[in-house]
Structure 1
């Protein structure tokens, strides 16, 4: 199991230390982190100096993969704008004259969940811009529709009715902890037949949980997906702008550090 980190934390000195420390202490845990300096890549310019100083530090750890954030607005954003943002991330090393600013792929946020030919072609072209050539180290693509309905998730024709074949990871559930516990949602997440290695679950607004209960939550998420992120931050639009108090315990749980 691995951790997908929405790293929307502004990189003031020391702000990314929880991630760096976790990567050091848990070399067997893989972290895929999403960089989002300007609700995207700061089109027309590099990110500011704090980002330019912080991003290369991630390159020191073999268990950290970095992705650039690009929103598609459920494919209503003009595709040319999406391709321009992808190009901007790809240009970071050359523009900055620093190869350590090379990112490993793209995290496409606000992607659709139900199949449509136009949307499929749109996402296919966006993904090809990441996969083709050597502009991105891992050519890694993540889609985040935020929610895939239980009916679609458990459908025997899910692969034909979705975009899962266009991405390396699809976030099948990004919601509150309470909604995850809803029986229809929970049962569907446990019952689907999709390869877990291609799926992620993100839960926010967790209550105050003991480490033992947190271990149990991680185990239950693992039945649905191989990628996870949990946070107890409950303030809307602030879920991913700081490291929550449970981040260290989350990493320990993923690394097999369950309490006996």
Structure 2
């Protein structure tokens, strides 16, 4: 991060499949989130899984509030997050989903304690139907797939049919053969503002690939597209 000050990093903070039951995370999270927040090119966001809008909305709102209270003593601790990463958002339209996501987004955007622009990130893992995207999240994870499936005709067809602006898109691709990693980053950086690319087949969100992390950062920087 410090070696690439012109590259923007979005860091998803996930203490326990969400903020956890305690008002504050453990000491490791307190220390490291505060450390990340000191970088001008980093935004930290808190993780919440909403189970495709099946999680009771009051529970999701309560988790948002827990993340917001982290910043109660921000000047002293540096602890806080700049938005919410909503995992398991639906990709198929329903009026109920629109109502749920709209309420949740309005709450996030209006919650004191969340830092900065209070980003709202949806992760359906595939391009959502237009009415869901039109709610207006700051970022949509339009592709979360293993490399082989990303290359499939089915996935490529949906990505073409439901195209969203690069500035609003993120891609998360795992199980990438190392020889394809750099070309893939060069390809996808024209499609999405944020990328996570790894050679790992499992536990890829708990660790960084020893080869993919360096390659991804270097490929993102070379002849870099301005964001």
TM-score w.r.t. the length of structure 1 is 0.79
RMSD: 2.0
Distance change in 2, residues 1:28/1:123 (3 Å) = same
Extract unaligned runs of 5+ from structure 1: 1-22
Aligned residues: 222
Indicate how the Cα distance of structure 1 residues 111 and 174 shifts in structure 2: closer, same or farther if over 3 A, else same: same
Cα distance in 1 for residues equivalent to 2:178 and 2:107: 42
Cα displacement string for residues 33-78 of structure 1 (whole angstroms, at most 9, x for unaligned residues): 1000011001333111111111110122100000000010000000
Q: Residues 130-149 of structure 1 correspond to what in structure 2 (within 5 A)?
A: 130-137=108-115, 138-148=117-127
Cα distance in 2 for partners of 1:181, 1:71 equals 27
Aligned match of 1:170: 140
How far apart are the structure 2 equivalents of 1:69 and 1:41? 7
Query: SS where residue 186 of structure 1 aligns?
Result: helix
Runs of 4 or more off by more than 6 Å in structure 1? Answer: none
Give the distance between the partners of 1:98 and 1:115, measured in 2 at CA: 44
* 1:125, distance to aligned residue in structure 2 (A): 1.1
1:200 to 150, 170, 187: 170
Give 1:221's aligned residue: 188
Q: Distance in 1 between matches of 2:87 and 2:164?
A: 21
Q: 1:218 to 1:96 in 2, by over 3 A?
A: closer
Matches of 1:44 and 1:241, distance apart in 2 = 21
Residue from 201, 208, 220 that aligns with 1:243: 208
Q: What is the TM-score of this pair, normalised by structure 2?
A: 0.90
Higher mean C-alpha deviation, range 114-123 or range 88-97: 88-97
Q: 1:187 to 1:217 in 2, by over 3 A?
A: farther
Q: 1:257 deviation in Å?
A: 6.3
1:183 aligned residue (148, 153, 171): 153
Aligned to 1:68, the other structure's residue is in SS state: strand
Residue of structure 2 equivalent to 1:20: none
C-alpha offsets along residues 212-249 of structure 1, whole Å, 9 cap, x if unaligned? x43321122134322211011112xx121111121011
1:115–1:163 contact (8 Å) kept in structure 2: no
Measured in 2, the distance between the counterparts of 1:203 and 1:136 equals 28
Alignment partner, residue 35 of structure 2: 57
Using a 3 Å threshold, how does the CA distance of structure 1 residues 48 and 208 change in structure 2: closer, same or farther?
same
Change (3 A) 1:99 1:164: farther
Residue by residue, what CA displacement relative to the aligned partner does 1:84-114 show, whole Å, maximum 9, x if unpaired? 0000000012278845112100000000011
Distance, in Å, in 1 between the alignment partners of 2:18 and 2:111 is: 21
Please state whether the residue corresponding to 1:165 is helix, strand or coil: coil
- Residue correspondence of structure 1 range 28-39 to structure 2 within 5 A: 28-39=6-17
